[in-house]
Structure 1
Amino acid sequence: MRKVEVVKHNPKWREKFQIEAEKINHILGENIITIHHIGSTAIPDIYAKPIIDILVEVKELIKVDERNYLMQSLGYQVMGEFGIIGRRYFWKNNQEGIRTHHVHIFEVNSKQVERHLTFRDYMISHPEDAQKYSELKFSLAQKYPTDIDSYMNCKDSFIKEIDLKAAQWRLSIQQSSRKTI
């Protein structure tokens, strides 16, 4: 049973992302297209679980599988697809057994990459929705301090609502940029 903890935004999360991204880049090297900081720790001024979410776009997933042992050498648990087809998922705990990082790896042009980045970018561009999300996360963490499943399940409908708004927002940006060309 994992403790559900959300804390105020910490500016050091960006640095923690960069440090870990360098380590992952060293291991996956030439297969990497790009590495992104995603999740709530990438959204300024909102409450978040202090877990750095990293999204890695790669050329080939099979090459990631071949380097699982190197991810393990960094302290990661290899979880395979873990419920999302076409993903490779890893998580890491610190010495006290507290979760510190999640790594989500997809092949380039995956719809999942677009969804995660659109959600993050939408929330950064729409601080009012980001604050609603922050308040929801805080209240759910208070309500379910030792029940991560209930915490996650209760966020699901809000996340799906934002995913729809974010997709419409991204489409409107793409359409307006085409008009200016």
Structure 2
Amino acid sequence: MVRRVIVEKYNPRWITLYEAEAERLRKLLSDNLLEIHHIGSTAIPGLSAKPIIDIMSVVRDILAVDLLQKTFEQAGYLYFGEYDIPGRRFLVRGTAEMRLAQVHIFGISSPDIKRHLAFRDYLRVHPEAAAEYSSLKTSLAEKFPLDIDAYIGGKSGFVKDLEAKALKWYRQNPQY
């Protein structure tokens, strides 16, 4: 399976796609759902991104999510379980080759919640960092259009540095 690496200019329609996906997840997660957030590059106005909506759901009981695997699959999601991040449940809507949405579900005590929100909010209020990230993503997509691993590897150092800055900034700006 080859997943093409396509990075597009920011599309305001991504907000509408997020809202529709969030509504599906609210129904599926029901009373276990505490919060739902649009995360990732499609959540940052002006940022170029792969046109895949990333959503983070925060739940009371992460283990209860596993009991919904068949329900998620019947609703059109591929269910990957933790998928390399302990305590997370990862789902994809679409196909393995053409993802429409990626869902990251965390239990309320997961430190990954803050990491995702800090990264998103930092880029929203630091347009110079968003522009630099956008440029990197675009150039990597042009360089590695058929190699998602090289694309991800090419931006990993930048992302780790940006995450560290974002978390520090987040602690200093509790209003976000």
For normalisation by structure 1, the TM-score amounts to 0.93
Per the alignment, residue 145 of structure 1 pairs with 145
Q: SS at 1:159's partner residue? A: helix
| CA–CA separation in structure 2 for the residues paired with 1:121 and 1:22 | 22
Q: Is 1:55 matched up with 2:59?
A: no
Q: SS at 2:48's partner residue? A: coil
Aligned amino acid, residue 163 of structure 2:
D
Per the alignment, residue 115 of structure 1 pairs with 115
Aligned length: 174
Q: Is 1:26 matched up with 2:27?
A: yes
Per the alignment, residue 13 of structure 2 pairs with 12
Per the alignment, residue 41 of structure 1 pairs with 42
Per the alignment, residue 87 of structure 1 pairs with 88
Instruction: Compute the displacement of 1:97 (Å).
Output: 4.9
Aligned amino acid, residue 169 of structure 1:
W
Q: Which runs of 5+ in 1 are unaligned?
A: none
Per the alignment, residue 167 of structure 1 pairs with 167
Deviations 1:139-178 (A, max 9, x none): 000000000000001110000110111111112224xx7x
| CA–CA separation in structure 2 for the residues paired with 1:49 and 1:63 | 30
Q: SS at 1:33's partner residue? A: strand
Deviations 1:14-63 (A, max 9, x none): 11111011111101100000110000000010110000000000000111
Question: Which structure 1 residue ranges, 4+ long, deviate > 2 Å from structure 2?
Answer: none
Aligned amino acid, residue 160 of structure 1:
K
Q: Which runs of 5+ in 2 are unaligned?
A: none
For normalisation by structure 2, the TM-score amounts to 0.96
Structure showing greater Rg: 1
Per the alignment, residue 70 of structure 1 pairs with 71
Per the alignment, residue 130 of structure 1 pairs with 130
| CA–CA separation in structure 2 for the residues paired with 1:172 and 1:27 | 35
| CA–CA separation in structure 2 for the residues paired with 1:97 and 1:74 | 18
| CA–CA separation in structure 2 for the residues paired with 1:45 and 1:117 | 17
Instruction: Compute the displacement of 1:93 (Å).
Output: 1.4
Per the alignment, residue 100 of structure 2 pairs with 100
Instruction: State whether residues 3 and 97 of structure 2, in contact with CA within 8 Å, keep that contact through their aligned partners in structure 1.
Output: no
| CA–CA separation in structure 1 for the residues paired with 2:59 and 2:156 | 27
| CA–CA separation in structure 2 for the residues paired with 1:173 and 1:164 | 14
| CA–CA separation in structure 1 for the residues paired with 2:18 and 2:75 | 14
Aligned amino acid, residue 156 of structure 1:
S
Superposition RMSD in Å = 1.3
Instruction: Compute the displacement of 1:109 (Å).
Output: 2.7
